[in-house]
Amino acid sequence: MSNTRLDERGRLTLPKEIRERYGEHYHIVELHDGIKLVPVADNPLEALRDEFADVEKSATELRDEARETALDEAGS
């Protein structure tokens, strides 16, 4: 864990190790007890393609499975 503080202009500088590991773009999420920085890929579409490269089902098949699971869990 690293400590940092805002400068006189309200800017926050992340440590070099964090920037190298997670990149330079972040989405700020407000939580009830603080904030969270979520890294955003430089090319989000490419990142999604990489993440799901090994998935062999279509989006329709995945959606249908999710719907069936939700209905089963809801007891319908």
Residue 5 inside a domain? The answer is no
Is the full-model pTM beyond 0.85? no
Question: Domain limits at 22?
Answer: 11-40
Q: Provide DSSP, 4-70.
A: ----TTS-----HHHHHHH-S-EEEEEETTEEEEEE--SSHHHHHHHHTTT--S-HHHHHHHHHHHH
Please state the φ and ψ torsions of residue 24, each to the nearest 5 degrees. -115, 0
pLDDT (tens digit per residue) in 24-49 = 999 999 999 999 999 998 888 888 88
Residues 31 and 50 in one domain: no
Residues 49 and 63 in one domain: yes
Mean pLDDT, rounded, of the chain? 90
pLDDT band of 51, cuts 50, 70, 90: confident
Residue 4 inside a domain? The answer is no
Residue 19 inside a domain? The answer is yes
pLDDT computed for residue 76 by the predictor: 62
